[in-house]
């Protein structure tokens, strides 16, 4: 049987505190998800946010939707909350004077877009306007403090929401560090990102939550950064920049056994 992660126990054993609710741009009560797989809606193209496309609900998880842009491939699915400002009922774009666009990487000739759109929408199950929820306002400033715990989307595995810690705070950004994963999935994001949630949000919303990883888990209990190790530098060029570059190759030292390496190097091994 599914055992929800015991945050109370974990906060105690890690001697840490949860980031308070008012730090987050999230609804006090997670929104109800009445979307069904197969429903169509309008979504901003994540790779080209100036265009509005047709999307299909591929999966639902708690208050989140896995979306795929019609006419795109199945390698660029993305997740949105049902109270995201980036999704709307079909018709919204045209009502606001816009035109639906083919997604970036449209798999057909651009000239076939009008007919593709017609066929896509003909007889489709459209998500009704009433199941879209208004995006919460969120805080007007970055109120996070280093060391606070939260739940955060793993951007490399975006279906996952995981146990995390505020590793650093700089201007409008926070460094989200995933407990027990040695930094491999960490990233910087704005304080009002929709990808970060207060402790307990998954349990409350019926979304699965990933417990801390096992890598260096002994350290997970005491993983405050020592003052001697500086926090990573936040990205300045792009908020989407992947800050987790692959690890550098191991350093190899060659020592000629006929030479003396000095008193500190044992050349007999
Ligand atoms: N399958 C992956 C999942 C890692 C998830 C980490 N989340 C912070 C792995 O085990 O590497």
Per-residue pLDDT tens over the stretch 145-176: 999 999 999 999 999 999 999 999 999 999 99
How much of the chain is in helix, strand and coil states, percent to nearest 5? 15, 25, 65
The rounded Å distance from CA 162 to ligand 1 centre is 10
Ligand 1 lined by 7 (C-beta under 6 Å): no
Q: Whose CA is nearest to atom 10 of ligand 1?
A: 213
In angstroms, the first-to-last Cα distance of the chain is 52
Q: Which phi and psi (to 5°) does residue 219 adopt?
A: -70, -20
Ligand 1 lined by 150 (C-beta under 6 Å): no
Ligand 1 atom, smallest distance to 178 CA: 8
> Which string of b and e fits 174-199 if b means at least 16 CB within 10 Å?
bbbbbbbbeeebbbbbbbbbbbbbbb
Ligand 1 lined by 178 (C-beta under 6 Å): yes
Per-residue pLDDT tens over the stretch 189-243: 999 999 999 999 999 999 999 999 988 655 444 444 455 556 677 766 554 445 5
The rounded Å distance from CA 183 to ligand 1 centre is 11
Tell me the three state secondary structure of residue 121.
helix
Ligand 1 lined by 185 (C-beta under 6 Å): yes
ipTM of the complex model: 0.95
The rounded Å distance from CA 35 to ligand 1 centre is 27
Percent of the chain with pLDDT over 70: 80
Ligand 1 lined by 181 (C-beta under 6 Å): yes
Q: Which 8-state DSSP code applies to residue 23?
A: G
For residue 255, pLDDT over 90 is answered with no
Q: So what's the pLDDT on residue 263?
A: 62
Mean pLDDT check: name the lowest of 51-65, 66-80, 145-159, 230-244: 230-244
Using 50, 70 and 90 to split pLDDT, how confident is the model at 258? low
């Amino acid at each position: 049987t599914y055992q929800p992660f015991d945050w109370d126990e974990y906060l105690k054993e890690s001697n840490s505190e949860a980031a308070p609710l008012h730090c987050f741009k999230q609804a006090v009560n997670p929104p109800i998800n009445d979307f069904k797989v197969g429903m169509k809606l309008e979504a901003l193209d994540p790779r080209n946010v100036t265009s509005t496309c047709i999307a299909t609900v591929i999966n639902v998880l708690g208050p989140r939707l896995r979306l795929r842009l019609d006419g795109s491939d199945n390698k660029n699915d993305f997740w949105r909350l049902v109270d995201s400002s980036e999704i709307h009922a079909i018709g919204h774009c045209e009502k606001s004077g816009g035109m639906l666009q083919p997604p970036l990487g449209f798999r057909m000739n651009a000239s076939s877009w009008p007919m593709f759109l017609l066929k896509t929408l003909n007889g489709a199950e459209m998500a009704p306007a009433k199941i879209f929820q208004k995006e919460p306002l969120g805080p007007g400033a970055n109120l996070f403090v280093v060391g606070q715990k939260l739940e955060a989307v793993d951007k490399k595995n975006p279906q996952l929401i995981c146990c995390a810690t505020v590793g650093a705070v700089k201007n409008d950004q926070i460094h989200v560090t995933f407990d027990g994963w040695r930094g491999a999935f960490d990233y910087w994001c704005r304080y009002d990102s929709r990808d970060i949630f207060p402790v307990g949000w998954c349990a409350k919303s019926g979304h699965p939550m990933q417990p801390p990883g096992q890598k260096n888990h002994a350290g997970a209990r005491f993983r405050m950064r020592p003052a001697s190790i500086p926090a990573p530098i936040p990205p300045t060029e792009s908020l989407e920049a992947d800050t987790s570059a692959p690890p550098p190759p191991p350093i190899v030292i060659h020592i000629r056994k006929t030479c003396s390496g000095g008193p500190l190097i044992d050349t007999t091994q």
